[in-house]
Amino acid sequence: MGGPPSGAGALVGQRLGKYDLLALLALGGTAEIYLARIDGHAGFEKYVVVKCLHDHLADDKDFVSMFLDEARLGAQLDHGNIVQTLGLGQQDDRYYLVMEFIVGLSLALVGRRAHERVRGGKIPVPIILNVAAQACAGLHYAHERTDGGRPLNLVHRDVSPQNLVITFEGMVKVVDFGIAKAEYRETKTRSGTVKGKFAYMSPEQCQANDVDRRTDVFAMGVICWELLTGRRLFKRDSTYETYQAVVECRVPPPSSVNHELDPALDALVMRALHKDREQRYPTAEAFGEAMIGYLHQRGKAAGPGEIARFFEEHFQPEIDDHLARMRELIEGRRASVADQKQLQWDASELDGSASVLDSELLEEIIEESVLASSPARAASTSSEAAAEAARRAATAPERPQRPSAAP
């Protein structure tokens, strides 16, 4: 893979439409993501995220179609548990997408840091289940969307801890519908192509079969299992081994791994993780209701307030650092996050993801930057050829596999 486009971050200080671009937050093979501000009367100002398609892709119909698909899809999703798409613009030959600006932490980072910050090394069960239930609420809303009464049959296909962001107010946001499957999309995934992160795929998705909303339910089950046990469920040392683990789908009950768990949780989580999707929860809403019902029955209900207090108690350094970074970015005293971290653009950085450039270095930038509106997708190759190559590698056990770059 080559380096990032020349002039990366060149739009800092410029204006796109009514948006002043303040700082580069992330960059990738298809787009750059900026922190931007819109000014109004009487000192009004609002901060947003602007995603700009690279100039050299403006004449590529496939990339433009994918970008416009993402914008059209985002415009249809207006829910408190989904990051908002605020607008789409074009200035000269440059397309740009405007998204909600969120300050928070990805669930991936929270889960990793919990080992050293939280007593016992694990997030409390009420917090885990409420976070998951909020994510399920956002997913169910997306799954139920229609266009003129016609179901969109939308499936996220990349539900993972990296794509769930928790704000400091305790709200959960599902981000990155960039590879979502929907009926109206102009750009369709070719048959036999896998998109997403293998470790959070359902067996049917991993094998490139047709998927529906229950694939997202399965991914939420994987997330819950991992948070409850403190271990990875399907992730292995190589892409093929991860793929094989998902396809075999041998899942031990959470309480057999973490003996402190209530065994009653097992059935709740294991239903979401059933290999046969007909045996899973029929909807994300049903899974979310089961989790909230479990908490209510035991008088352990937790809401955004409890999640916010959990953050204050265990993640105050991250909160302070995020707010300081935001101030520095806004005041223009810091170079771009990408430049500061010296991103390495190399194919060897690919982890077990099927189509996403998601190196440990890039994850750290994404998860610890103030941006929470899907820079991972900005760093995607957006190449179905890459996804297909990953699947071929995963389904060819005779080929030696390079160890994954991700932990």
The C-alpha atoms of residue 251 and residue 270 are separated, in whole angstroms, by 8
| pLDDT recorded at residue 26 | 78
| pLDDT recorded at residue 328 | 78
CB 277 within 8 Å of CB 101 = no
Active site residues: 158
Among 36-40, 212-216, 218-222, 255-259, whose mean pLDDT is lowest?
Answer: 36-40
pLDDT band at 194 (very low <50, low <70, confident <90, very high): low
CB 152 within 8 Å of CB 183 = yes
pLDDT band at 6 (very low <50, low <70, confident <90, very high): very low
Tell me what the mean pLDDT of segment 250-268 comes to: 97
| pLDDT recorded at residue 49 | 92
In this structure, what are the phi and psi dihedrals at residue 300, rounded to the nearest 5 degrees?
-120, 25
- Answer with the residue of higher pLDDT: 46 or 138: 138
> Tens of pLDDT along 284-314?
999 999 999 999 999 998 899 999 999 999 9
Res. 160: pLDDT tops 90: yes
| pLDDT recorded at residue 384 | 39
| pLDDT recorded at residue 134 | 98
Res. 354: pLDDT tops 90: no
CA within 13 Å, CB half, 211? 32
The C-alpha atoms of residue 33 and residue 338 are separated, in whole angstroms, by 10
**What is the residue whose two structure tokens read 């994918």?**
66
| pLDDT recorded at residue 39 | 84
> What 3 state SS string does 82-147 have?
ECCEEEEEEECCEEEEEEECCCEEEHHHHHHHHHHHCHHHCCCHHHHHHHHHHHHHHHHHHHHCEE
Q: Which domains does the chain have, with CATH numbers?
A: 103-407 (1.10.510.10)
> Tens of pLDDT along 75-92?
889 999 999 999 999 998
The C-alpha atoms of residue 376 and residue 362 are separated, in whole angstroms, by 8
Res. 376: pLDDT tops 70: no
| pLDDT recorded at residue 356 | 25
Q: pTM for this one?
A: 0.78
Among 110-114, 115-119, 176-180, 398-402, whose mean pLDDT is lowest?
Answer: 398-402
- Answer with the residue of higher pLDDT: 43 or 323: 323
| pLDDT recorded at residue 68 | 87
| pLDDT recorded at residue 404 | 36
pLDDT band at 55 (very low <50, low <70, confident <90, very high): confident
Tell me what the mean pLDDT of segment 91-100 comes to: 90
Return the percentage of the chain with pLDDT > 70, whole number. Answer: 74
